[in-house]
Structure 1
Amino acid sequence: MTAPGWVVPELREPVRTIGGRTFDFDHRIAVMAIVNRTPDSFHDRGATFALDRAVEAAVRAAEQGADWVDIGGVKFAPGPELPAREELDRVLPVVTQLAQQSDVVISVDTFRPEVAEAAIAAGAGVVNDTTGLSDPRMAAVVADSDATVVITHSTAPPRQELPVPPHYEDIGRAVVDFLRERVDRALAAGIPESRIVVDPGHDLNKNTVHTLELTRRLPEVVALGYPVLAAVSNKDFVGESLGRPRGERLAGSLAVATVSAMLGARIVRMHDVVESVDAMRMVEATLGWRAPVEARHNT
């Protein structure tokens, strides 16, 4: 029996083989670690831009218990255009070396079909598309592989300033309608339900008030029937909610990741691996999905 206040999603395909691992999302919350091979990432400010640093961070995340590692070469936020060749040069060596050293699930954070195709060939098992299949070629690339796709809600092209502040008549409905349409696009391209994950896109083309409401209404996204990814770590809505600058958002990030899990998210995308893994394993233990490592207290 699940405690009141918890949302246990009715998933179309709860047991998923992603990369080389199998997940039962009826009883598991996966932690996706983040490795940005970018000089201008919003959180780590280029700390893992050097190839050796990126590979080291990816391997360490796997050793620390991350279920999968998300590797990105271009941030979503506004910035100068980066040629596809340079994005490939950033992500492919990390994907290749991580695949050689670990069985952790590898995802590539990209909106370019050519980058996704090359990363899949190099060992990536997930394409994390923050534009929600805005390029129709992306769906074809995923359909022609065994990879899982993360379909994310966003309303504007990446790397560009929004022309006007974002506005939604109903943020929950807008996100659900968008994701439903993009899922239909994926299915029509030949991607099976068992290889689809959805992401409501915390902070992507949304202000803090939008993102907080969207988090409260996460069960509406969960009701689509696909595993929901909550990418909440260290984002501006956490900082603005608490008045915390970058570098001081860990507690807030863990809190909103836990709330997201309680409301039905089954994957959380996080920077701080050890703390995030502990938090999600504790959620699982509390729900009775995971036995304690030991149970000696008062015995």
Structure 2
Amino acid sequence: IDVEMVANNTAKDAAAAWVKLTTLNARDKLLQTLTTKTEKMLTQMETLVTSGMIDKSASASAEIAVRALLLEKANIDAQIAAASASYMVFFGSVPKNLSTPQSLLTSADLIQIQRNWSSAPILLQTSAQVLAAKQSLIAAQGSEKPTLGFKAGVSSPMEKDERTTYAIGVELAWIIGDGGRRKANTAAQAANLKAAEQKLKGAKLAGKRELDTALSRRSTLIASLKTLAAQEVSSQNELKIMWSQLPTGQTSVRQLIQAEEKAYRTSDQKISMESELLKLDFEMLASSGLLSKKLGLSANKKTTKAEK
């Protein structure tokens, strides 16, 4: 059970490192596109300011917005460096065009996870601790009782005319005057069993609560992603209209920069939410013990059993 837990947790951490890096790369690419656009538009605004067609204040506010985006870009670049280091711990070097991993969680997996949540590795491990505590208590209780033994012996003759003597008997043994050590040990083992049972009860409650929370969060993320996808389409349609109005003066460069940033925020939020959903899927698979099986990490364990 311990090996299975380690395999699932390691696979989950590796997947999280992979997802985090690809998410940051996607956000960085999106922000780079916006930064390039806004810098070009800012140059246009500065030209208009120089010609006296627009006020300097409009250009100044746009410049502040662009600098904020550049600062955000520097922050994401720093996060990418850290995420790359985490990725290399599990996978070695980072590929040039690293793609986002696909979710391995299926509808059938969701049904199985909800049905067999009490068989999660952490709960099986805790159950094993309860069984071990019970065995220790039984052994301790047994040491307090008298022990019945069987003895047989042979007495060889010292002289030629003496006969060989055989003896068979039953021996009853009971240790007394041990200072109460056996009773104290039994009490300690009983306390250990009670603690193990309480731990199992708590683990079951926590496991069910975590599963319910994960399922609820997953449903919320899926619904939110649908909303963000619709908002993303609306933002792009709005941008097309505003770009078409720019030559006629119906839309200002400043308004366009604001609209571009708004559209970026929507897409950026969508990327982050997709990442959260993907990591949640891997976490649910790992907690249920299914992730290592899907990745074939249990193969070595099975082979070892077959060879014995």
Band of TM-score, shorter chain: under 0.3
Q: TM-score, normalised by structure 1?
A: 0.20
Q: TM-score, normalised by structure 2?
A: 0.20
Q: Name the structure, 1 or 2, with higher relative contact order (CA <8 Å, separation 6+).
A: 2
More helix by share: 2
More strand by share: 1
Rg (Cα) greater in structure: 2
